[in-house]
């Protein structure tokens, strides 16, 4: 080996400097006091890895025998090529939930879901974000222009993708099916969230009570039950919510928007879940059966609510009085008695109501409509609940059972009156 070349070769030192400030990673190689950017020399981070025990070039360590070409008129090396091959693929593992990632940057992005670190701040409103992409999306909210408009309901959007997703609320299209069950979704991220139900994965833990969640957004919403924070406020009536989705649903009370339309009839709904329940009235499918009385239901939530009529469970308590309820929506309705909130107004006579169902029933006093007809006789009703009560006169069904004795009742109100007789010692 030429003595001069050997001397030059011995001078080569290599280092990799990594600064994880969420903004940049500086990779450089020093050759004879000259710095060469590794971006051109190492095509992928996976081609050059120092902290996985594969190949380590310490300061002062001699490069392989192969000598780089030298310009005869210069003692400096014009370029050096590194060819470091991976022996095995590297996976970066989260120390909190043990998820693995293909790159260190992806791991660091993921780790912020545990730490709630939000280094990207909006200069307009001060809001912070965990990823630069989220900040970019947020910046559009400060721009008034929304060029993508829906032809069905005239709503406008900042980008075309949001318009495409919105259009599915009108068409009912759900192109993302679950491979584990028969459920399908209009958005891919909703499918990903749903699939965690099957996997049982719940990496997000509450530091107040230890409860775990499959989604970070669910954890954030849950944390507000500890803090009492309700950051999403309605600009029409001042009501505030812990979850943005609940504000969106509430806002439709004021706008009257019902974007979910039934293909079988002219009915429209404010929520997709209400449309799905309505469609089941056409199919007649009721796969969820009660083990106590054999009543069947179109969805599992209705079955759970029904089971409480047997157990007497009332887990939703009013903070203003000692009343309790078996359903959360009944508690919400009840609390309006205390708040005096009546958001549902009649367009014919300006009467206001605490519940939309009361408004709809009231409107029929103006229209004379009786849409709920019994298929056993000619009777028709303005309210569905009255039809259900009437229908029991044909079936003879008595689903409401007293826990003190063996008596059963066709209506919950009759059971309540009976239970009162027990407490007063009249039975």
Residue 268 in any domain: the answer is no
Q: What is the mean pLDDT of the chain?
A: 75
Rounded to a whole number of angstroms, the distance between the first and last alpha carbons of the chain is 111
Question: CATH number, domain at 244?
Answer: 3.30.160.60
* Residues 110 and 79 both lie in one domain: no
**Residue 51 in this model has a pLDDT that exceeds 70:** no
Same domain for 343 and 202:
no
Mind listing the pLDDT tens digit for each residue in 292-305?
Answer: 887 888 878 888 88
- The answer on pLDDT for 16 being more than 60 is no
Together in a domain, 82 and 142:
no
CA distance 186 to 178: 11
For residues 287 and 250, membership in a common domain is answered with no
Q: DSSP letter at 62? A: P
User: Which residues lie closer than 8 Å to 327 by C-beta, 6 or more apart?
Assistant: 305, 308, 316
pLDDT tens for 230-286 read 888 888 888 888 888 888 888 888 888 888 888 888 788 888 888 887 888 787 788
69 in a structural domain: yes
Range of the domain at 391: 283-423
Same domain for 57 and 113, yes or no, is no
Residue 131 shares a structural domain with residue 48: no
Number of domains within the chain: 3
Q: 52-56, 81-85, 160-164, 195-199: which has the highest mean pLDDT?
A: 160-164
Q: What is the CA radius of gyration of the chain?
A: 33
Token code pair at residue 357:
């169902």
Do 149 and 200 lie in a common domain? yes
- Separation of alpha carbons 246 and 242, rounded Å: 8
pLDDT digits (tens, 9 = 90+) for 108-129: 877 777 776 788 888 888 888 8
């Amino acid at each position: 080996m030429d003595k001069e070349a050997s001397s030059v070769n011995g001078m080569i030192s290599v280092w990799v400097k990594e600064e994880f400030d969420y903004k940049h990673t500086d990779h450089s190689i020093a050759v004879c006091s000259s710095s060469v950017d590794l971006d051109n020399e190492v095509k992928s981070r996976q081609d050059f890895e120092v902290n996985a025990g594969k190949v380590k070039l310490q300061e002062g360590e001699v490069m392989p025998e192969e000598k780089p070409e030298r310009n005869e008129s210069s003692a400096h090396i014009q370029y050096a090529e590194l060819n470091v091959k991976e022996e095995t693929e590297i996976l970066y593992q989260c120390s909190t939930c043990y998820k693995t990632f293909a790159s260190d940057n992806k791991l660091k992005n993921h780790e912020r879901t545990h730490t709630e670190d939000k280094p990207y701040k909006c200069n307009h409103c001060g809001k912070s974000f965990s990823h630069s992409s989220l900040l970019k999306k947020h910046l559009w909210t400060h721009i008034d222009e929304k060029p993508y408009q829906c032809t069905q309901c005239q709503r406008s959007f900042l980008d075309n993708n949001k318009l495409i997703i919105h259009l599915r609320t009108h068409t009912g299209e759900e192109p993302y099916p679950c491979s584990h069950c028969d459920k399908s979704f209009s958005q891919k991220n909703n499918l990903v969230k749903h699939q965690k139900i099957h996997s049982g994965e719940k990496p997000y833990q509450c530091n107040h009570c230890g409860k775990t969640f499959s989604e970070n957004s669910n954890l954030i919403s849950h944390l507000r039950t500890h803090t009492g924070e309700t950051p999403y406020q309605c600009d029409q009536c001042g009501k505030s919510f812990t979850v943005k989705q609940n504000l969106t649903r509430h806002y439709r009370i004021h706008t009257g928007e019902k974007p979910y339309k039934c293909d079988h009839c002219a009915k429209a709904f404010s929520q997709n879940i209400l449309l799905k329940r309505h469609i089941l009235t056409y199919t007649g499918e009721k796969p969820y059966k009660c083990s106590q009385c054999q009543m069947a239901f179109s969805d599992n939530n209705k079955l759970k609510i029904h089971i409480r009529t047997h157990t007497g469970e009332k887990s939703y308590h009013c903070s203003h009085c000692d009343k309790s309820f078996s359903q959360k929506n009944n508690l919400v309705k009840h609390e309006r008695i205390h708040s005096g909130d009546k958001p549902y107004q009649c367009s014919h006579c300006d009467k206001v109501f605490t519940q939309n169902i009361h408004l709809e029933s009231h409107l029929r006093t103006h229209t004379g409509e009786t849409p709920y007809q019994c298929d056993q006789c000619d009777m028709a009703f303005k309210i569905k609940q009255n039809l259900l009560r009437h229908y029991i006169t044909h079936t003879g069904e008595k689903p409401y059972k007293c826990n003190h004795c063996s008596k059963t009742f066709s209506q919950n109100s009759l059971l309540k009156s009976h239970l009162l007789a027990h407490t007063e010692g009249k039975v």
